[in-house]
Amino acid sequence: LGTYTSEAGGGTGIGTAAYDTATGAITPGPVITGVDNPSYLALHPSGSTVYAVAEQDPGAVTAVRLAPDGTYEVLGSRPTGGSGTTHLSVHPSGRWLLSADYGSGSVAVHPIAEDGAPGERTDLVTHSSPPPGPGQGGPHAHQIVTAPDGGHVLAVDLGTDTVYTYTLDESAGTLTEVARAALAPG
């Protein structure tokens, strides 16, 4: 469960909970501390590592290894190169971490090491066109996901009212824009 650790009365880290499939009951568990403003989370395909955004300036991504006995280890954080990191996802290959920075309107790529830790950023793309839509002061990337076929990465930007389509070079960790869809403002 994501939280804002820098807000008065906010959380202290990543909340955990157990879900009972028979009854639907949710039981709060321990809090994973040592992670700043982990407002959005994504799970590695292996299920053993959770990734969190650090929704702040500068933005960052953090990896936490989860053990079956409920213990955890913070594997490390890496800056995204943007601000207000608000969304992240793991490429289906499990080798790349993709993030969207709302404050700077950028998207970033980090390699994922064998132990699950994020590596140094391999790409940063800042959305600069089309110009921001009505009522927007600039680009605001707020989601980045891989298409179900794994062939394309889609980034949604509220500020430019555009969905950007990229290919991911899986050997270099770089994004290349191949299409975009302009949407109505909002």
Identify the band that residue 121 occupies on the pLDDT scale cut at 50, 70 and 90. Answer: very high
| This prediction's pTM | 0.94
Q: Distance between CA 139 and CA 105 in Å, rounded? A: 4
Whether 50 is in a domain gets the answer: yes
Whether 10 is in a domain gets the answer: no
What share of residues in the chain are helix, strand, coil (percent, to 5)? 0, 50, 50
Whether 98 is in a domain gets the answer: yes
Number of structural domains, the chain? 1
Whether 135 contacts 123, CB under 8 Å: no
Identify the band that residue 139 occupies on the pLDDT scale cut at 50, 70 and 90. Answer: very high
Whether 124 is in a domain gets the answer: yes
The pLDDT of residue 137 is 86
Q: Distance between CA 135 and CA 137 in Å, rounded? A: 7
Identify the band that residue 153 occupies on the pLDDT scale cut at 50, 70 and 90. Answer: very high
Q: Is the pLDDT of residue 72 over 90?
A: yes
Q: Is the pLDDT of residue 24 over 80?
A: yes
Q: Distance between CA 11 and CA 133 in Å, rounded? A: 34
Whether 57 is in a domain gets the answer: yes
Unique residue bearing structure tokens 């793991």: 90
Q: Please give the residue range of the domain that contains residue 108.
A: 38-182
CATH of the domain at 144: 2.130.10.10
Whether 22 is in a domain gets the answer: no
